[in-house]
Amino acid sequence: MNDSSNKLKLPDWLDTIAVFDTETTGLNLAEDRIVTAALHRMSADGEVLPGGHDWVLNPGIPIPEIASKVHGFYDKHVASAMPASEGVPQIVNAIAACFVEGIPVLAYNAAYDFTILHYEALRNNVVPLTFGAVIDPLVIDKTIDKYRKGKRNLASSADRYQVPLVSAHTAKDDAVAAGHVGLAMLRYFVAQDKPVVPFPDSAQSLHDQQAKWADEIDASYAKWRQTDVPDYKPVFGWPVKLLG
């Protein structure tokens, strides 16, 4: 995609965003653990601002080889790393500080990262996040470009919105790439003459709309799955899925 939308000015409430990503021991939202995490602030022009945070944690459990092959961290790399009991509260507090300042936090597939973090907080006796505004490019993309075929992962979205993905599956690089994708996507959203849904007028409005869109996406997916698995039940919730 290469059009004038990439030059559009975004609303003032997007002047500064934070970008967040985790790499983990696996995909079980309630049981798997954070291995690396990154939180960085970014201007609306895509400049990474000073003062970001990067964490490498000892998750307290062995890292499965399949996960290590994705993000490059093996047990030997985290043996002397910061314990989760110390790192998880730092992550929660750093994100909470962004919300207190009114800075939206962007995460690609936010329900994954924030659900993992939620259960990590509970596991480590940390009060879970009280949310401000979250931006999820995956939810936005599936809503404003609903019928596009193909994958919807970060790499495919980066290609769609012509954003370089320098080093996939490192927390910082994925977070920054997601920020660039999200900003490009929001400009595309603003540029539409007849958008599928109206562009929101505040970060909180965008957050609230995404919660609704995410439920619609999950319900649609469940309906499709139920053609083969009649008893499939969706797990609703965005940006955190509360699992039984």
CA distances from residue 43 to 63, 90, 94, 190 in whole angstroms, order as listed: 34, 23, 18, 17
Lowest mean pLDDT among 20-34, 48-62, 119-133, 158-172: 158-172
Please give the structure tokens belonging to residue 132. Answer: 């401000």
pLDDT, tens only, 76-109: 999 999 999 999 999 999 999 999 999 999 999 9
DSSP state letters, 112-162:
HHHHHHHHHHHHTT-PPPPP--EE-HHHHHHHHTTT--S--SHHHHHHHTT
> What whole-number distance in Å separates Cα of residue 181 and Cα of residue 164?
9
Q: Which positions ≥6 away from 83 have C-beta within 8 Å? A: 57, 58, 60
pLDDT, tens only, 115-156: 999 999 999 999 999 999 999 999 999 999 988 888 999 889
pLDDT, tens only, 149-201: 889 998 899 888 888 777 666 789 899 999 999 999 999 999 988 888 999 99
> What whole-number distance in Å separates Cα of residue 59 and Cα of residue 80?
11
Superfamily of domain 4-225: Ribonuclease H-like superfamily/Ribonuclease H (3.30.420.10)
> What whole-number distance in Å separates Cα of residue 120 and Cα of residue 22?
12
CB-count exposure of residue 238 (10 Å: 0-12, 13-18, 19+): buried
Residue 2, pLDDT > 80, answer no
Which residues on neighbouring strands pair with residue 17, listed in sequence order?
Answer: 42
